[in-house]
Amino acid sequence: MLIRDVETFVLKVRGPAAYLGALPDGTELTADAGYRVREPWRSLYSASFETLLVRVEAEDGTAGWGEALAPVGPEIPAEIVDRLLGPQLIGSDAAAPRPAWARLRALMRERGHLVGHQADALAALDIALWDLAGRISGLSVARLLGGAHRDRVPAYVSGLPRPDDAGRAELARAWQEKGARTVKLHLGYGVDTDLATVDAVRAAAPDLDVAVDAHWRYGPAQAARLGRELADRGVVFLEAPLAPEDVDAHRRLADRIELPIAIGETLRTRYEFAQWLAAGAIGLAQPDVGRTGITEATAIAELCAAHHVPLAPHHSVALGPALAAGLHVSAATEDSPFFEYQPTTVETAAALGFAFDVGPDGFGLDERPGLGLDVDEDRIRATATRHHACAR
């Protein structure tokens, strides 16, 4: 059976709150604000949940759905699918995601376009191809990958979106009462300020494990001091402490602190992860399947296993297929201690019709064919701000 159509859908959806909540000064992000930098972090953020969905249809009408992690500018990977990748898929075997991945990856690889938006666009198609293959075969993606090690994927709650420590402590206490086991704090406000937040949260919710995301904000000396203090407090990992391109600085930091350094959301290929793993610069791998795709994520998982590094997939604002894909990869990976749970993202996904079996302690794995997602196509089409099809 062959592929006869590829469609892209750009979505920009208002959630119950902006991703990661209000700005540090308490200002709420509004839909007309455009893209903003959330100081002291450096990246652009949107007040809406922005994403790229793709639909790949076989000759018999069976369709698979994929998604790229595209928190800002989802039109960019959409254009890559529409102009470069999608047309090359038409007429391909609908049940063969790995050969399609290899062929699509090669299209712009020799020109230096293996990562960035090109990789994000390819990830969306790859997820759709695995979903399609599963729906055609009647098997779940986890089953296609060789089987699941667990039918429930443990999770950590990502973020306590309040502008002060009192509010964060209150939220931590509430999550502890709901059964959460681990919470990750989005910090990077200065070493002393970050430590005060950790102390406030641990005092309010002593049964919660705590992790810290530093959002790439520190230099080597500051990161070493923060890491030592966090290790003394029993923090489970330190994410993104230094400049995201600097492998050697992370290696040196790993040698100085007894705390796993979590890296991965900026990386998209097995070759990038291989460099970090060989250097000993990463203690917890966090690929985002909305940026790697399923095919590459499984290769990354095997590389990590060979280096005794656990896999804990990253997840932020992708709304449905990318989240489901990450859960199937996590379930099919032997050493995968937890998955990132973004409550407002999951609520926003539910409003679009993407339902997940999720609680503060983890996600249930849906073992229906493909990704196990019910897709409300009418709602997706009505919500999309941009739609394109490249039928045969």
Residue scoring higher pLDDT (340 or 25): 340
Average pLDDT over residues 236-256: 97
Angle at 332 between CA 330 and CA 334, to 5 degrees: 85
pLDDT of residue 29: 74
The larger pLDDT score, comparing residue 190 to residue 22, is at 190
Determine the pLDDT at residue 212.
Answer: 98
Per-residue confidence band for 177, with pLDDT thresholds at 50, 70 and 90: very high
**Which domains, ranges and CATH numbers included, belong to the chain?**
3-138+377-389 (3.30.390.10), 144-364 (3.20.20.120)
Catalytic residues: 314
Rounded to whole angstroms, the Cα distance separating 325 from 323 reads 5
Q: d(Cα 323, Cα 207) in Å, to the nearest integer? A: 27
- E-strand ranges in 14-62 read 36-37, 44-45, 49-58
Residues 6 or more apart from 160 whose CB is under 8 A from it?
167, 168, 171, 172, 175, 183, 185, 186, 201
Tell me how far apart the alpha carbons of residues 167 and 122 are, in angstroms, rounded to a whole number: 40
Mean pLDDT of 372-382: 96
What's residue 22's pLDDT? Answer: 73
**Percentage above 90 pLDDT, the chain:** 89
Instruction: Give the chain's length.
Output: 392
Per residue in 323-359, pLDDT (tens digit) is 999 999 999 999 999 999 999 999 999 999 999 999 9
Q: Which of 198, 194, 214 is nearest to 206 (CA)?
A: 198
**Single pTM value for the model:** 0.96
Residue 52 has what pLDDT?
98
CB 106 within 8 A of CB 13: no
Residue-wise pLDDT tens digits, 100-148:
999 999 999 999 999 999 999 999 999 999 999 999 999 999 999 999 9
Q: Of 24-33, 310-319, 369-378, which gets the smallest average pLDDT?
A: 24-33
47 contacts 317 by C-beta, under 8 angstroms: no
Quick one: tokens of 146?
């060789």
Which pLDDT band holds residue 392 (cuts at 50, 70, 90)? low
Identify the pLDDT of residue 55. 98
CA distance 322 to 319: 7
Q: CB of 155 within 8 A of CB of 341?
A: yes
As a whole number of angstroms, the distance between CA 171 and CA 177 comes to: 10
Q: What is the pLDDT of residues 67-111, one digit of tens each?
A: 999 999 999 999 999 999 999 999 999 999 999 999 999 999 999
d(CA 147, CA 118): 29
Is the per-residue pLDDT at 27 higher than 80?
no
33-73 pLDDT tens trace: 788 888 888 888 888 999 999 999 999 999 999 999 999 99
Q: Which of 104, 111, 59 is nearest to 85 (CA)?
A: 104
Q: Please, which pLDDT band fits residue 391 given cuts at 50, 70 and 90?
A: low
| Across 157-180, average pLDDT | 95
The distance of Cα 286 from the centroid of its chain, to the nearest Å, equals: 8
Classify residue 267 as exposed, middle or buried by CB count within 10 Å of its CB (0-12, 13-18, 19+): buried
Residues with Cβ within 8 Å of 212's Cβ and at least 6 positions away in sequence, in order, are 184, 185, 187, 194, 198, 226, 230, 235, 237, 238, 239
| Per-residue confidence (pLDDT) for residue 171, from 0 to 100 | 97
Q: Which residues of 72-94 are buried (b: 16+ CB within 10 A; e: fewer)?
A: bbbbbbbbbbbebbbeebeebeb
Average pLDDT, the chain: 95
pLDDT in the model for residue 163: 87
Q: Provide the pLDDT confidence category of residue 26 given band limits of 50, 70 and 90.
A: confident
